[in-house]
Chains A and B, each alone.
Chain A
Amino acid sequence: MPDDLQDNPKSIIRHYVEMGVLALLLVVFLAVSLWRQDPLHQKDAAATMKAIGLILAAGLTLTMYSFLYRDNPLFKIAENLYVGVALGYMAMFVWRQALRPMVYEPIFHAPTWSALQTALLHKTVPIIVGFMLLTRLSRKHGWISRYAYALMIGWAAGLAIPNITNTYILKQLYAAVTPLQQAITSAPNTPAFSYDWFVGTAGPVVGTLVILIGTVSVLFYFFFSVEHKKVGRAVSTVGIWFLMVSFGASFGYTVMGRLSLLIGRVQFLLDEWLKIPST
């Protein structure tokens, strides 16, 4: 029992009640698992391991959800086991999918002498730089890793400038202004204020103007080099309204995303662990 509960009879009772409920839940979980998965009477070892795996997966899932009641040691154990397994998986795939195919096999398993020469020509420098990166682990020689970082950071920065200018700036600016011109010039020849006129001409123009006003006002809201007074304040207020609508939309989507994850877990528990077929 935790020391801080020793002198509080209410807490002591609560502690024992919680322990009792936990033990009961554990018994129920095992009983249900054995009933639905029946790992002891499977046709072969693979089926048995699958059943045990599903019980473990369900147990870990429910343990994770115990956090909703309160942070507890079982949750922490599951969480740390997850971190460990993910770490082990990463270690294996650093080898299997990175160092082995890109470094080890081309050099140590080169099929021909010329293949080895080609591999050495193309890979010697990055391998040396890669080892320089590992000097980060040494206090004395850690500075050598700066060359590796310099190479990576310099390359990434140099490459980012043209590509980001193109994708984030030029293409977005182009998209912000061209629909307006297109909407006006390619508008169908329909009588003004008719339904077709609203849908075909006025609608796209208004929509494009809304986007343009929104983009400009949001940019202005984040532009702090001038004081937001009078007209400036009005523009930045419009920017705030646009931002709020967008944040609201993003919040709506966030709720949708998180619930989808929950639905996924519920589907797993009911479908795979409890084997209740969906109607």
Chain B
Amino acid sequence: MFLKRTLPLLIVFTIGSLAFVHDFIPHPLSGEFRSEMASWMMIIGGFGMFLGVYSLMHMHITRIRQKMAGWGYSVFVFIGAVGMIATGVYGDIVGVSKDDIDLFDWGYKYIQVPCGATIFSILAFFVASAAFRTFRAKNMAAGLLLGAAVIVMFGRVPICEAVGGWVFNDRQAIVNVANAIMNYPNLAVKRGLLLGIGLAAIAQSVRVLFGVERTYLGGAD
């Protein structure tokens, strides 16, 4: 029990207290300590990333091996990953000059980039469709939401300046309204949320330091 639970909690408290205290000490040694600890965390983070890659690979290999539902699609994950690793390792060992065709780079440029860029752009259609179907000024609050959205959407595209000049004889008229929304009510709310988030993060950190919050230890004992 001591090794599995008490000692990790003691480490959290000790290292957390050191991090906290050293932040207030303007001595160069404190700065060195912070810098050294940050280096440690970066190295440990590298191992953590390896763990992430391994876990994801393992999950898909297990799905293929056990022929679980949709295992055929996992084959494509496997092909993609192995293909990239093989070309990457080849490039590292043999070396790829600027004139050679780097298949690792090619896979990134023509598979990862277009797929990554497209998958999020699909949301443009969903957002538009959802706005059309559900955005209704049914009450005061919904009306404010709708009004602010419409003004900001319009006030952030160049055409609003032409319309402003034509209707109000001031090209910046609509832009100024959009700016006012962003600079006052939006700012007020975001600041309120920041204060709330900040207080919550501090409370959570204190809970972690004092061992009240210990879900990071995992289950069991």
Identify the A interface with B (CB < 8 A).
45-46, 49, 53-54, 56-58, 60-61, 64-65, 67-68, 76-92, 94, 96, 98-99, 102-103, 122-123, 125-127, 129-131, 133-134, 136-137, 142-143, 146-165, 167-169, 172-173, 175-176, 207, 210-219, 222, 239-256, 258-259, 261-262, 264-265, 268
CA gap between A219 and B197 in the complex, in Å: 11
Given A143-B218, A244-B145, 16 other A-B contacts at CB below 8 A? A54-B110, A64-B119, A83-B80, A87-B77, A89-B108, A143-B3, A147-B7, A157-B209, A168-B195, A211-B191, A214-B187, A241-B140, A248-B150, A255-B128, A255-B149, A258-B127
Contact residues in B for A130 (Cβ distance below 8 Å):
43-44, 46-48
B147, A248: Cβ atoms closer than 8 Å: yes
B44, A152: Cβ atoms closer than 8 Å: yes
Contact residues in B for A247 (Cβ distance below 8 Å):
145, 148
CA gap between A161 and B40 in the complex, in Å: 20
Q: Assess A215 versus B88: contact at CB under 8 Å? Given A49-B101, A88-B82, A258-B121.
A: no
In the assembled complex, how far is the CB of residue A68 from the closest CB belonging to chain B, in whole angstroms? 6
Q: Assess A244 versus B107: contact at CB under 8 Å? Given A146-B4, A256-B156.
A: no
Chain B interfacial residues counted at CB < 8 A: 127
| CB-contact partner of A147 in B11, B84, B182, under 8 A | B11
| CB-contact partner of A251 in B39, B114, B145, under 8 A | B145
- Cβ of B189 < 8 Å from any Cβ of A? yes
List 5 A-B pairs, minimum CB-CB distance, nearest first. Answer: A84-B80, A88-B84, A214-B188, A248-B148, A168-B198
- Cβ of B24 < 8 Å from any Cβ of A? yes
A151, B144: Cβ atoms closer than 8 Å: no
CA gap between A250 and B156 in the complex, in Å: 12
State which residues 42-87 of B face A: CB under 8 Å.
42-57, 60, 70, 73-74, 76-85
Residue of B whose beta carbon sits closest to that of A90? B53
CA gap between A160 and B201 in the complex, in Å: 8
B77, A84: Cβ atoms closer than 8 Å: yes
Contact residues in B for A94 (Cβ distance below 8 Å):
46, 49-50, 53
CA gap between A241 and B192 in the complex, in Å: 14
